[in-house]
Every structure is written in C-alpha cells, then in structure tokens.
Amino acid sequence: MPARSASTYAHPSQAAGAARELSATRLLSCSDPERARVAAVVGRPVSAAEIRTAVEAAAARGAREGRATARALRATPRTAPTSRLFESVFNVPPTFVPAWRPASASWRDLGDLVALRLERASGILVGGHVRFFCWGSAGHCPECTGDPMRYRACSSYRGRYHICIGGPWWGWFKQGRRGFMASTLLHEALHVYFVLEHHKAAIGRPSVNNVYCYDTLVALQHRRAPKPGDRDKCRLGRRP
C-alpha cells in the first residue's frame, strides 16, 4: 500500500513544540487500584514516585534513541553502516525514492522520511502533552478495548495524545528490560503522531508504514535486540 506523506499523518505540532521544557510525565495518571495492578505484576509494592520515574526514564530513553537514529539518517553523507542497517530492515537503501513521494514533500528519500517520523514521535513523547496511564482501560484509551494484561502498551490517536501501559511492560520493568520499555513508548508515539496502524502495513514485505520496522531499526542502531516478534512483524507485515 502506498504510504502517505509524513505531513498527511501528523497532528498539529505547535503544542508539542511549545512544551519542550515540560516534564514528560506531567500528565501521568495512576490511581491506587491501578497501582495495585502494577504491583501485582511486579510482585511487590510499587510507589507512585517509582511508577513516575519508570515512565519518565522510558520516555526519555525512547526519545533519545529515536533522535539518535534520526541523526544517523540525516547525516550527509550517511555512513556505510547506517545505510547497510537501514537496508537490512526496510529491504531498500535509505537513498530509495518511491514513486509515491509527493513533489512538495519535505523529505528527499526514504531514509529522510523515517528520520522525520522518528524526530516528531520523539518530540511528542517527551514534550509534556502525552497523557500516560500506568494501567490501560478503554475509559483511558478508547481504541484499546483489550485486556491490559495482553498488551505492552496501547494508544489513542483520534484527537488525543493518550498512551495506556499494559501488564507486559511492567513485567519488563520487573526484569530490568529497559530497552524494551523505551521502545514500546516510542512505538506508541509513532501511532499517536502519524497514525501508523498495524493493519496498514504492507503484507509480505517491510514497509515504512509498518511501525515494527521503526522499532527494529532503532533497536539495531543501538546494538540491542528488538522486542520479541518485532523483526518478524516488520519483515512479514501484519494482516488486519
């Protein structure tokens, strides 16, 4: 499926840009019953401060890694390792210019488009305008109707900047998998800003519309394993 331009997906960015000095978790919500659900996964009591610190650190790391990957793709010229890594994920070099690129697009090639998306998603992740919920529910995130114990995190992108965190994310907190935690929040920020939906990914090949390819690229750029299943979901796409 042809991807749309980055600007087609983007929410207005003025608020995110103006909030760069706000705390990333100033809008974090976590009721006592929700904190008890987190504690049940972690296996011990968890304070409100500890929850805030965990989310703040994961958001900061996700944004930092997203921006670093974007910088590597923006470099002129790009290094050979950066180009090889991009091609290993997306199956085309970053210099590839697709036929569907609009003449007025602000990005020059696929590497530039991926960099732009990573930069903007990273910006809203730490810009202070995302409302994080320590435990998911359809009340918090209307698009997230599943059991929070079955998703890592889930986002609402229809006019909102909401990210709901699920049980597996807190399981990674217990295990010390900080890279997985950060990658999950960057993944959700890509959903929120660009409405990159899993079912819009091309089937049977990597795609810049497949959010799992972004997860995979950022992880490999930082010399760590992608989250379980991410690489296969990038390579194969996901059916509706």
Q: Rounded CA gap, 232 and 240, in Å?
A: 16
**Rounded Cα–Cα distance for residues 217 and 201 (Å):** 16
DSSP 89-142: HHSS-TT---TT--TT-S--SHHHHHHHHHHHHHHHHSSS--EEESS--TTTST
- Give CA–CA dist 49/38, Å, rounded: 13
Size (the chain), residues: 240
Distances (CA, A) of 22 to 36, 98, 117, 228: 28, 38, 21, 32
Domain residue ranges of the chain, discontinuous segments joined by +: 23-96+107-236
pLDDT tens-place values along the chain, 240 residues long: 233 334 333 343 444 444 446 788 889 999 999 999 999 999 999 999 999 999 999 999 999 999 999 999 999 999 999 999 999 999 999 999 989 899 999 999 999 999 999 999 999 999 988 999 999 999 999 989 999 999 999 998 777 899 999 999 999 999 999 999 999 999 999 988 886 666 556 667 778 888 999 999 999 999 999 999 999 999 887 654
Model pTM score: 0.87
Find tokens 């599943």 and name the residue: 146
CB 156 within 8 A of CB 131: no
CATH number for the domain whose boundaries are 23-96+107-236:
3.40.390.10
> Strands of 153-156's sheet, edge to edge?
131-133, 162-165, 153-156
